[in-house]
Structure 1
């Protein structure tokens, strides 16, 4: 095999730039291996080289085999590996992505743990969906009703725009082909959007399970984020694909969704929206602090880890700790 890339390992600061990556790549019936800092996909047609640092989420479909070295380079590059069903319509498992800083997940946990701030974040999510309306005085039930009407109106609007017949949303878990073309396309788009949102959430170091609108599921926060863009990105792409016929709706939906994601710059928006929602200032982690671990002391002080602290420091004693153990 030829050498694809001789670049060194990316720094943590570079790896957090998920907004600059390809949104997702779906592979099936192939063997995935590593060559230098790239992964390779080998099937009956030969070997395809894929720069691993350019992928947001790698969707591994049926018939895929992945080596330890391939998973290693994906982890080093901060790419999510997600095992999915046929044509990417079901999520089975996800691989851990690289995270160096805990600042965002701490902000998320702090906001989630307080009932007042939890609903404030939920209202901020609805404010992104309804910029012309102020949700600050609305109850959760009122917000859910507003969202339901918004999605139904989106279905009607996209059906009229594309000429695709639409009766109602139907989804049958485990039976993708039971719905009509429009419902199959919406299902495929939703699953892809969940995978993309999951990739961004994990790459930023957030907890997928601490949701502010959804609750009780290991991907509650992922569903929160993906739903922010379904009427702008996911549903229109689904109806565009369904308008082209009933055959291979799933694959056409993924391609239409990929193009729309790139057009609107969704990954970059997703990163900024998550930081905004969690009231993070968005400043990049300094290069010399990106891999720093500290210990919490009194008065909300953070002191260097990896050392033994055997006595209380004097007022001006800055060297009271023992050497690294």
Structure 2
């Protein structure tokens, strides 16, 4: 059985296999020389299946995955791209509702944005009097200081972040590697958000793009993942390719995904900046409910005619 992650979320990544349904269950067929090995997938305990390059899947297998409530996301090699997602009807809307409620309320949106900056700074004692404008300035100073430290460590002169798609071929190796590695990170974050049923478009710091929330969450990890990798490739003759390969090899996908899930849930949880509520202690978010502006959530499947006066 795969290890459980926050809110009973677990991931399995596959590539170069054929996923089929047989009399026993859903299995991955692996061609090994003259024989075919079968690896059965724990679909009932699996929340998200990441399908990488070289994977083919049959309709019966997809039907079983949907019946068991498993999200299926098509990704790049190592999970560093997210191309599309197939979400089951049974996927809870709990976290999407939390996201929308926080995004639509200016005060809660500001609170989530502040938490994001606080996590980046690693300072839980950040004064509440600091404005969002000041936080953006502090973030800019932090990144400049980090660029300077990494440049000194790798014997690079003054570094300036430069991202101009129309001048791609004229950029230095560090900028090329950083752009490629960031794209990989965005893919992993995108896959995690889709598996949670969240909207990648409703960001708290970023806005105006379908990937705004992806950029919000990815920014939490760049300082420890993509930036050191990019500066280490300052002498590379093919920084983009090496950045993608080293990102896949060194990041350890299944170690980052649980962090993304836990951090995202914590950021969206009202009234707590440190803990995510235990799913066993809250209402069953997988059940369908009715909404009432005064009474809150009401049970569905009930005839309310007797309550009409």
Could you tell me whether the CA contact under 8 Å between 1:189 and 1:253 is conserved in 2? Answer: yes
1:110 to 93, 101, 113: 101
Q: Distance in 1 between matches of 2:100 and 2:231?
A: 37
Q: Distance in 1 between matches of 2:234 and 2:33?
A: 32
Matched, 1:302 2:297: yes
**Aligned-pair distance for 1:59?**
6.1
Flag the 1:97–1:183 CA change in 2: closer, same or farther, 3 A.
farther
Q: Distance in 1 between matches of 2:288 and 2:141?
A: 46
Could you tell me whether the CA contact under 8 Å between 1:238 and 1:257 is conserved in 2? Answer: no
Which residue number corresponds to residue 122 of structure 1?
113
Could you tell me whether the CA contact under 8 Å between 1:39 and 1:52 is conserved in 2? Answer: no
Q: Distance in 2 between matches of 1:202 and 1:90?
A: 12
Flag the 1:189–1:47 CA change in 2: closer, same or farther, 3 A.
farther
Q: Distance in 2 between matches of 1:40 and 1:165?
A: 51
Could you tell me whether the CA contact under 8 Å between 1:81 and 1:96 is conserved in 2? Answer: yes
Output the TM-score relative to the length of structure 1. 0.69
Flag the 1:119–1:37 CA change in 2: closer, same or farther, 3 A.
same
Q: 1:261-291 deviations in whole A, cap 9, x for unaligned?
A: 66xx433332222222122542115799353
Matched, 1:214 2:203: no
**Which is worse superposed, 275-284 or 94-103?**
94-103
CA RMSD of aligned residues (A): 4.2
Which residue number corresponds to residue 252 of structure 1?
246
Flag the 1:70–1:230 CA change in 2: closer, same or farther, 3 A.
farther
Matched, 1:235 2:227: yes
Q: Distance in 1 between matches of 2:170 and 2:78?
A: 15
SS at structure 2 position matched to 1:95:
strand
1:205 to 197, 201, 204: 197
Q: 1:150-197 deviations in whole A, cap 9, x for unaligned?
A: 233323323333456774333454997764443333223212221222
Flag the 1:298–1:209 CA change in 2: closer, same or farther, 3 A.
closer
Question: Is there any run of 5+ residues in structure 1 with no aligned partner, and where?
Answer: 1-6, 315-325
**Aligned-pair distance for 1:147?**
2.0
2:149 to 147, 150, 157: 157
Q: 1:65-119 deviations in whole A, cap 9, x for unaligned?
A: 55445555665464551455x998765x321345633322222222211112211
Could you tell me whether the CA contact under 8 Å between 1:108 and 1:278 is conserved in 2? Answer: yes
Output the TM-score relative to the length of structure 2. 0.72
Q: Distance in 2 between matches of 1:305 and 1:37?
A: 33
What is the number of residues matched between the two proteins? 291
**Aligned-pair distance for 1:139?**
3.1
